[in-house]
Structure 1
Amino acid sequence: MSAQTLLLSLFRYKAWADEGLTAGLTAVGERSAHAEFRTAIRILNHAHIVDRIFAANLQLTPHAYAATDPDEAPKPDSLFKAVKKTDQWYIGYIARLDEAELAAMIEFPFSDGMPGRMSREEMLGHIIAHGGYHRGEIGRIMTQLTRSSPRDTFTGYLHETEPARRERMR
């Protein structure tokens, strides 16, 4: 399996997991004004901002973010739409890259001003790991509020989206 094939699968999984998470948050938000819900939205907003910062870094363009955890988060519905749009952007972006572009090293400033240098593959790997970490945080909050959280495993995604390919041989 090529790096591009794996990254596409991981970003499709991320989009699937984000869809489940935002659907779960929508259900919680409709019946809750808990501070924990607002915390979950702030965490998701942070993860989204980091996704956008790295999208800019990958394209060698500046971004408009002064911080990764602003004082105010957008309205949940606006954030959920922006997350979905960004997830789709990453899938399309990765599909257009070749092996040399994936391996290319890029210099950029981290949000704290320190210099950074990573390959596109490393940046994309960071986005997957960072998003998974924060979805886990939000999942824990949702479990506290509702006693459950959306499914969020790569294996669950693969078995749900590729059932014929994943069935056991008998």
Structure 2
Amino acid sequence: MSLLIPLFAQKAWANNELFNALADVPLEPHGAALHTAIRTLNHIHVVDCIFRAHLSGEPHAYTATNTEATPELAQLHFAQGEVDAWFQQYVARVTPEQLAERIDFRFTDGDAGRMSREEMLAHVITHGAYHRGNVGQVLKSISVAPPRDLLTKFLHVSEPARRRG
């Protein structure tokens, strides 16, 4: 089994945990912090969608790595769940030969890019983790403990038998 499979499962799990934590934060007095967190999560979502399009060989309509309008948290949670499911399905069926294939594309600023499918997938994983950490810091700034976004935790939650020694 490719390491990409549990990494994308963990990504979906961590995203869901973070969205659920944010849903419990009261708008008053934390509206500004919530807005920052949602903007950051929307950035993750947009970049995920852009790379999904590159991997699919389809165009995307994004001209930047975030949208002008800020979506509602619940709407974004649903949309992120859909793209997370797409990536999980993709890594479950992609072949090693396909992972090695290099794809030419354009970044949203117009610059040319070329990456292998595997590099693109690694970027999606690391990019999302980095920015979930940013959102975790926003939560800490309002005295809310962020969910633990760790592969080790995910593996032991999803496969409790791993805890048996």
Band the TM-score falls in, shorter-chain normalisation: over 0.9
Q: CA deviation at 1:167?
A: 2.4
Structural RMSD (CA): 1.3
Structure 1 position 55 matched with structure 2 position 43: no
Contact map agreement 2:63 2:109 (CA 8 A) in 1: no
2:137 to 111, 127, 140: 140
Contact map agreement 2:10 2:154 (CA 8 A) in 1: yes
Aligned pairs (5 A) from 1:14-163? 14-29=11-26, 32-163=29-160
* Cα distance in 2 for residues equivalent to 1:108 and 1:102: 16
* Cα distance in 2 for residues equivalent to 1:48 and 1:92: 17
Contact map agreement 2:27 2:34 (CA 8 A) in 1: no
Q: How many residues align?
A: 165
* Cα distance in 1 for residues equivalent to 2:34 and 2:121: 28
What is the aligned-residue identity percentage? 46
Q: TM-score under structure 2 normalisation? A: 0.95
Unpaired segments ≥5 residues, structure 2: none
Q: TM-score under structure 1 normalisation? A: 0.92
- What residue is the counterpart of 1:8 in the other structure? 5
Write out the 4+ residue segments of structure 1 that deviate beyond 4 Å after TM superposition: 29-33
Quick check: 138-147 or 37-46, which moved more?
A: 138-147
Q: CA deviation at 1:70?
A: 2.5
Query: What secondary structure sits across from 1:107 in the alignment?
Result: strand
* Cα distance in 2 for residues equivalent to 1:18 and 1:32: 24
